[in-house]
Every structure is written in structure tokens, then in C-alpha cells.
Chain A
Amino acid sequence: MTYLKQALLGSVSLSMLALSPAAAQTDITFFYPVQVGGPLTDVIDGYVADFHEHHPDIRVEAVFSGNYTETTTRALTAARSGTPPTVAVLLATDIFTLMEEDVIQPMDTFITTEEDQTWVDGFMPAYLASARVDGHLWAVPFQRSTAVMYYNKEAFAAAGLDPEQPPRTWDEMVEMGQALTQRDASGNVSQYGLGIPSSMNAVHWLFGALVAQNGGMLSSEDGLHTFFDAPEVVEALQFFVDLSTEHGIHPAGVLEWGTTPNDFMQGRLAMAWHTTGNLSNIRNNATFDFGVAPFPGNPEPASVLGGGNLYIFSGATEEQQAAAFEFVKFMTSAELLADWGVQTGYVAPRDDSWETETLRNFVAEVPQAQVARMQIPDSKPEISTHEAARVNQVLNTAIQAAIIGEQTPEAALSAAQAEADRILAVYRD
């Protein structure tokens, strides 16, 4: 019985606390996801403690809320039930959903001083672009990533390839992939040349890179149109399918995002596409010398941008929003973003971060970290539309249908385009 009481009393006292904030102090809540392993909640708590020292009048409650999907879900549900977070790290691509739900406050409404303007101008334009819609800046970049190619230098050397010359075009990639693919006596493949994950929650991202390399794009900037049946997109999917069926350098079927790093580290894949966020994991656990390469092109190299931005929610009071803006500025200072990048493997989205001692030392120690930054000017935003979760699911299903051979790329993508049109039609009027 005592536990029952405690549970009830506990919830009552919690809700009372929430109702009675201390007088001259502004309480804000901060929802954030952790997408990479390790005790990163401690790191965030450290930043928050630091912030409290600089701003004793503001109390930040940092709430770790799972991965991106879960954090978005939680932020939206909380907003719907009238208790939104004040500030949250959510996917850059969630912007249309958040606008449609009418829960975020444009960042530029807070930018009043010249100092603020300089701060905004310090972000890399490629990352800022995804936060600008309808002439407003809705968010600022925080933990941004990009996809890169990890490759096994020892496997390269064993296959007679130059470990310092990773492929720069699709043709080179296929050629090298064939040299890297090894079969045992009975014809079973013991090492595949290349692995591009295609599981449900990840494939739209890496496929976006293939499409960009082929000179196409998946969605329009206003998030109202998709181009799934465009020739560049169909070709890109055909190439993806051919990697396995034609060239035999890629495992058959859907490659799971979660197991791909392990496949790479166990030597099953000689080249693997994954997030830059994986660098420290692979660095710690790979038993061989590995390289990080920018993505190839067909012919122009391109990668995709990913990761999360900081959003301020509109449901909070003005004081809370102002306090949240102070917190956002604190979290995106050159020094802090540099530290966050080193701790996590995310790409610091400010050029001045890369000039800090923290990042300079890190790059000197881990030259591979530099690759992501160099690739950014060539990178395209990931697919972003209204009802992003649903449209992405439609695209992912089509890609998988082609990969497992249930539909041709053309048929799968034109069906997906029709479905996306049906979903987006509501928002076009």
C-alpha cells in the first residue's frame, strides 16, 4: 500500500511543483535526443550547469527524450496537451510539421541586436538554409551531421588498391568494389565491396545522397512537392539496386542501419556509408586502419546534411521564450559547439568553431574528422516535406520494394510519387 501512496503522492507533488515556479526565476524545459552512444546526458547536464552559472535567474530543466523520432513525438504530444517544452533539439526536417502544428516561434523574432545578427551569420550557410522557410528563420543548427564513406585501408591494400585513393565517382566505386569483393571456394561472399544501409528509418537519408550525386533532388524547398519519379531519382535507385544484382558488390536485401558499423568493423563490408556521428565508435573499436572519404559523384560528388536544430516553442510565456533564446545562444557558441562536436562526432555548424583550440587539436589528432567539414559545401539538405514522417515512409517503402526485387525502381517510385502527391495535395492550396 505504501508504494501506491507514494506513487500517488509523488505525482501530486510533482504537478504542484510545476504550478508554482519560484518568484524571480524563469523556468524553462529543454528536450533533447541523444543519437549517439556514451554518457552524453552528463555532457548536456554539464553545459546546463555552466549556463546556470552565467544566468542565475534562469533554471533549465534538461529532459533526455530518446532518439529524434521519440523527441519529436514527445514535444508534439506535450505541446498538444498544453505543456510544450520551451526549447528542443529536433530534426531539421521536422520544420514543416512544426510549422503546420503551429507550435514554434520564428528565431528571428528574438534577433534584435547587431550582436545577435553576427551570431546568426556565423553559422554555415548550408546548414542555415534548412531552417529558412517563408522568409523566416525558424531554428538554428545545433548537432548537425553528414554522411560519409568509411573504408577499410587494409582491405584496399590487400585488393591491390591505393588506400589513400578512395573512389570519387560511381564508376570508380563499382570498380573498386569489385576488386574488394571476395568469395570463398563455394562462392559465398566473405567480404562485400560496399554497404549502404537501407532499413526503414534511415534509407531516405542516404538515398538522398545518391540522388544528389546523380544531380537530382527529392523534395522542393517549400516542402510541398516531391520528385520521386524524376529520371535522376529513378536512375539513382536503379544504381542502388544494381550494386547488388548487377555488380555483386553489395549484400542482397535490406542492409540494417544498426548492424552496418559492426559489419564494417568485422570486415564484412570494405566500404560503408554511415553518419559522421559514428567516427569515434569506429575509431575505438575497429581493429584495422580505416579511412573516411567524402562521397563520390556521378559525376559531381555530393552528400546529405542531417541532424538537429534548436527550436523555441511558441506555447511558453514571453519571459520563458526570452530565457530560451539566451540558452540557445549559449548552446551555439563557437566554443560549446566545438566541444559538443569533439564529444559526439557531430559536425560543428559554425566556421569559427573550427578555429577554436579544441577542434584544432582534435583535427590534428583525428584527421578523419576534417572530411565531414570539407564535404559540407557539396552537401544538400535531406528530404523535408509536410507530414515528413509519412512521406519518408512512402519513399522508404518504395526503395525497399526495389531493393528486395518486388518492384522495379520505376514502378515503385511512380507509385510513391502518386501517394506523396495525395498526401501533400492538402497543403498546396
Chain B
Amino acid sequence: MSASSSSKSATVALNLLAWGLALLWVLPLLFAIWTAIHPPVYVGNFDIFAPLTLENFVRVWNAAPFDRYFLNTFMLVTFVVISQFVICTLAAYAFAVFPFRGSQWLFMLVLVQLMVMPEVLLVRNYATIAQMGLVDTIPAIALPYLASAFGIFLFRQAFKSVPKELDEAARMEGAGPLKVLWRVYVPLSKSTYLAYGLVMVAYHWNNFLWPLVITNSATTRPITVGLQIFSTVEQGIDWPTVTAATLLSVAPLLIAFLIFQRQFVQSFMRSGIR
């Protein structure tokens, strides 16, 4: 829309700017790939004819229980996202469709969680989890995040934009509140669910501080914490193995994003997150 009226040189400049910035932005990833597929002597020594190797990946895979870390992260992310969907949907449905005296106030209270994120309260939440006897379990990593104000806010927005007539039509047919929710509101908000779900998958795949605090064994530790433990050895950073481990840990997410990136961006546009 902008380039159409501008001169040709402006278009070239725009392209250069975009590609330059893009290159800068993927540089860390490119560096990681380069370092991970070459022998250690080629760290920071960019020789095109350097021999390729998968040795670093093999070493990493054997050196730490990355398969277990993957499983943990996978269980964590699945548990978090599904629970958030259920809990936030129910709450958002109440706020959007069943207003009562004071529900505006309650909604404002919910929004407090947006700013008072679980990380700020990590000291106290740690004590709570310890009292529940859940330290070093996967549910413990998930619990503080399940009632997400972000999710409730988004779903409420989405439900509010559902035409009232559809809701009424379903009720005329004798559907109860939950059935209406399931048949009318949820299907019509599919792209909001997709967009929110993807953001949450990325968020919890990458989350570090709280899992670091609350886990203490390989059987619960997610990939981020496992990676940090793997990287901080006494003998200093071994970039080939660290970058190989990094690539391993992000590979599933990266591949998924490469495949679904079009749907991902489109779901954002349709979801009305803005």
C-alpha cells in the first residue's frame, strides 16, 4: 500500500531495510546452526569448507536425559493449555453472557492477574506449593498459570462478538447454558482459541524461572531448565554442544511454526486480538 505510490528507489530501500533487519534477527539462530553442525574448532571460524558433523547432537542426546525433558515439557504444555481453555472459557462465558450485579467488579479483579503475574509472587507461591506437597511435580509448574486473566479477557471479547440471535436460537431448541457454550460460542471463537493456544504453547515451552524454582529432578524438569543445567558446567561453555542442545530443544516448536506459520498469523487476524 505504501510502495505503490512511492518511487522505485524507496521500494529498494524498503526491501533492503526489511531484509537487513530480518538477517540481524535470525543471526543468533544461524550462528547456532553453524556451530552445532561443525566440529568444535570451527566456533567463530566461518570456513565454508569446514567439515559437517552430527557428532554434537549425538553427544548432547547422550549426555543428558533430553528425551525425558521433552516429555516433561510436552506434558506440561498440554496440561496448561487444555486446563486454561476449560477454566478461562467457563469464566469468560459467565462474564460475557451472564452479567449480574458486581460482575464488572469481579472482572476488574480478574484483570489484576494480568499485572500481578505468577513470577512476582514466586516466593509465596513456592511456599503454597510446598504446603500442598506438590514441589517437583508437573502440575505444580502449571497451577499458578491456569486461571489466566489474558485468556479470560480474550475469550470474553470473542464471546461478546457472537450474535445474540444464535444464542437465542439454540436456547429455543432447549439447550442448557453449557450446551449453548459448546455448540455456539466455542465454535464461533475458534480462531481466538487457536491464537491464544499458540501464544501459550510458546510461552510455556520457553518459561524458565518458575520451573527452575519448583522442579528438582529430571523426571519433572522441562526442557528450558534442563538446558540451563546442561549449559552451566564448571569447565566453561562448550558452544558446539550448547548450540546443538538449543536447536534440539526448540526444534519441535520451530518446525511446527514453519509448517503452520500461515495459519498462525491468520488466526491472529481473525481472532480480533488487538
Task: Enumerate chain A interface residues (CB-CB to B < 8 A).
Answer: 1, 3-4, 6-8, 10-11, 14, 34-42, 63-67, 70, 73-74, 77-78, 80-81, 145, 257-262, 266, 274-275, 277-278, 281, 285, 287, 345
Contact = CB atoms under 8 A, between A and B. Distances in A.
B235 A278 contact: yes
20 contacts: A3-B75, A4-B79, A4-B82, A11-B138, A35-B233, A35-B235, A36-B233, A36-B234, A37-B238, A39-B62, A65-B216, A66-B228, A81-B133, A257-B236, A259-B236, A261-B235, A261-B236, A262-B236, A274-B236, A281-B238
B224 interface: no
A187 B131 CA distance: 61
Given A74-B216, A81-B133, A277 B235 contact: yes
A66 B234 contact: no
Contacts of A70: 216, 229
A67 B234 contact: yes
A7 B138 contact: yes
Contact of A285 (B40, B64, B82, B232): B40
A145 B184 CA distance: 66
Nearest to A67: B232
Given A3-B79, A4-B82, A8-B139, A287 B237 contact: no
Given A81-B135, A262-B43, A285-B40, A7 B235 contact: no
B218 interface: yes
Contact of A260 (B62, B133, B136, B236): B236
Contacts of B137: 11, 14
Interface string B202-241: 0000000000000011110000000011001111111101
B131 to A, nearest CB: 9
Given A277-B235, A345-B235, 19 more contacts: A1-B82, A3-B75, A3-B79, A4-B82, A7-B138, A7-B139, A37-B233, A38-B63, A63-B216, A63-B217, A63-B218, A64-B64, A65-B216, A66-B232, A77-B135, A145-B234, A262-B43, A262-B239, A285-B40
Most buried by B among A6, A65, A70, A81: A81
B130 interface: yes
- 8 tightest A-B contacts by CB? A35-B234, A74-B216, A66-B229, A261-B236, A3-B78, A258-B237, A278-B235, A39-B63
B75 A6 contact: yes
B125 interface: no
Contacts of A34: 233
B210 to A, nearest CB: 14
Contacts of A14: 137, 219
B41 interface: yes
A84 to B, nearest CB: 11
Contacts of A258: 232, 236-237
Contacts of A287: 41
A7 B78 CA distance: 9
Interface string B31-64: 0000000001101100000000000000100111
A200 B40 CA distance: 26
Interface residues of B, number: 38
Most buried by A among B44, B82, B130, B234: B234
Given A4-B83, A66-B229, A262 B237 contact: yes
Contacts of A7: 75-76, 78-79, 138-139
Contacts of B239: 262
Most buried by B among A1, A10, A14, A63: A10
A66 B76 CA distance: 20
B56 to A, nearest CB: 12
Nearest to A82: B133
Given A4-B83, A278-B236, A281-B236, A80 B241 contact: no
A213 B135 CA distance: 45
Interface string B139-183: 100000000000000000000000000000000000000000000
B88 to A, nearest CB: 15
Interface in B63-93: 63-65, 74-76, 78-79, 82-83
A257 B238 CA distance: 12
Contact of B78 (A4, A39, A261, A262): A4
B243 to A, nearest CB: 13
A105 to B, nearest CB: 21
A34 B217 CA distance: 13
Contacts of B219: 14
Nearest to B220: A11
A224 to B, nearest CB: 28
B241 A37 contact: yes
Contacts of B234: 35-36, 67, 145, 275, 277-278
A223 B239 CA distance: 38
A37 B63 contact: yes
Interface in B240-266: 241
Contacts of B75: 3, 6-7, 10
A4 B74 CA distance: 11
Most buried by B among A66, A73, A277: A66
Interface in B111-149: 130, 133, 135-139
A36 B64 CA distance: 12
A42 B59 CA distance: 12
Given A1-B82, A4-B82, A285-B41, A78 B236 contact: no
A318 B268 CA distance: 60
Nearest to B231: A258
Contacts of A38: 63
A77 B136 CA distance: 10
A64 B225 CA distance: 13
Nearest to A74: B216
